[in-house]
Amino acid sequence: MTAAGAARPLTDHGDRLVVGFCRLLRSVGLEVPASATINFMVALGELGLDDRQRVYWAGRATLVSRPEDLGLYDRVFAAYWLQRSADGVAVEETPPPITLALDIGDDDDDASSPDDADEPDGDVQQVRFSRAEVLTNKDFADCSPEELDELTALMSRLRFTTHRRRSRRQLPAKGGGDRPDLRRTVRWALRHQGEPMKRAFTEKATRPRRLVLVLDVSGSMEPYARALLRFAHAAVVARAKVEVFVLGTRLTRLTKYLASRDPDAAIRRAFPQVKDWAGGTRLGEGIQEFNSEWGIRGMARGGVVVILSDGWDRGDAGLLAAEMKRLHRVTHRLIWVNPLKATPGYAPLAAGMSAALPHVDRFVEGHSYASLEQLAVVLAGDSEAS
């Protein structure tokens, strides 16, 4: 089931309210693509329409992409949802000048504020952005080599957890548990002359599910592959039970080469093993090999499998669909990370992507450090064992 399918649908009246609100935002100049409208509907399917504060934050998170649009969004929201005066929706004819400043660190002595003589008369609105904030939201394909080095260094800060599964082991429970613990109950009773003053229980233990990362390293993924390989390395060194494969025209297992905690040393060891870097793509054949050699035999069973690819495939789309269906049957979660999903107006029209998408549980972005942070949240899954 996809993420959208997991959300509760809105009523027809709710759908009309959401569509009308998005149309009004577009009419006053905000860029609201169809994908943002869908995300807004999914969010409201979970949150409902009764609490206007939740509606406000759901719309602000999904419909507003630029900080300078926040004021206009607030006015449109107040007029549409709170039934306040619509006069507040009008855009100011002459907005105050905006001065952008970039925080590049405390040690930069050359950075100074502009002279008073250069400042415009009247109100001036100054917006400051830290370099880290700018880089974390920047598309990997637009980053310079130096910026990519900075971003990949940040990946060591990511925290990786994953969905958990119940094991057969029983652990002492602090309160009520699954079954009585007779041994501890008797031990406590012996401290009180044999009277069972307190009962002990046990509960089932949990353990993390295996995480498998399959990274597309074909030519179309080259702007993203290096950063995503660093992401895979961060996952390997952060926790146990992680497997990493790369896929182009062949499938290569890289787990043992990425085991070093030094990211540069790990990449140097792994890179010579990849013979088809920036080459062609045969996703169907690669997933078939993974299923036959590793996945179906046990590596993917009950685990979380993440495929990082743009979905461009030169092979048989029918084979890819069949193998994705086969893989989906044995996994706990099957996640597809596509760097192109963040592109305005993107639609999964590539043959490989459209063939795989029906068999994916989550379809997420992977074009920037911020999107990989969100992916780490998705990988964390539920706090309870599932």
Contact 256, 232 (CB under 8 A): no
Angle at 15 between CA 12 and CA 17, to 5 degrees: 110
- Three-state DSSP at 62 gives helix
Helix (H, G, I), strand (E, B) or coil at 296: helix
**Residue that the structure tokens 């700018």 belong to:** 134
Contacts of residue 355, defined as CB under 8 A and 6 or more positions apart, other chains included, come to: 313, 317, 318, 320, 321, 324
Instruction: Identify the pLDDT of residue 109.
Output: 44
Q: What's the one-letter identity of residue 131? A: R
Spans of all domains in the chain: 3-89, 96-106+117-136, 168-207, 209-380
Confirm if 252 and 273 have CB atoms less than 8 A apart.
Answer: yes
d(C-alpha 33, C-alpha 38), whole Å: 9
Please state, in angstroms and as integers, the Cα–Cα distance from residue 127 to each residue in 111, 113, 122, following that order: 16, 13, 16
Predicted local distance difference test score (pLDDT) of residue 178: 74
Q: For the chain, where are the alpha helices, taking DSSP H only?
A: 3-6, 12-27, 34-47, 52-63, 70-81, 131-136, 145-154, 182-190, 222-238, 263-270, 283-290, 317-330, 351-356, 369-380
Q: Give the type of residue at 330.
A: V
Q: Which two tokens stand for residue 29?
A: 């100049």
Looking up tokens 């043992």, which residue turns up? 256
Taking the C-alpha atoms of residue 304 and residue 215, their distance in angstroms, rounded to an integer, is 14
The residues near 4 (Cβ < 8 Å, ≥ 6 apart) are 38, 42
Residue type, 328: H
Look up the CATH architecture of domain 209-380.
Answer: 3-Layer(aba) Sandwich (3.40)
Task: Identify the pLDDT of residue 269.
Answer: 94
CA distances in angstroms from 66 to 72, 89, 166, listed in the order given: 11, 17, 43
pLDDT at 245: 97
pLDDT at 9: 66
Q: What is the pLDDT along the chain (386 residues), one digit of tens a residue?
A: 334 444 456 777 778 888 888 888 888 888 888 888 888 888 888 888 888 888 999 999 999 988 888 888 888 888 888 876 544 444 444 444 545 444 444 444 444 444 444 444 544 444 444 566 678 889 999 988 888 888 888 888 887 877 777 777 777 887 777 788 888 888 888 888 787 778 888 787 778 899 999 999 999 999 999 999 999 999 999 887 899 999 999 999 999 999 998 888 999 999 999 999 988 889 999 999 999 999 999 999 999 999 999 999 888 999 999 999 999 999 999 999 999 999 888 988 888 999 999 999 999 999 999 999 999 888 887 444 45
In angstroms, rounded to a whole number, what is the distance separating the alpha carbons of residues 83 and 80?
6
Q: Which residues pair with 172 in a beta bridge?
A: 202
State the pLDDT at residue 299.
Answer: 95
Query: Can you give the pLDDT at residue 6?
Result: 45
Q: What is the pLDDT of residue 91?
A: 41
Helix (H, G, I), strand (E, B) or coil at 168: strand
What's the confidence (pLDDT) of residue 258?
A: 94
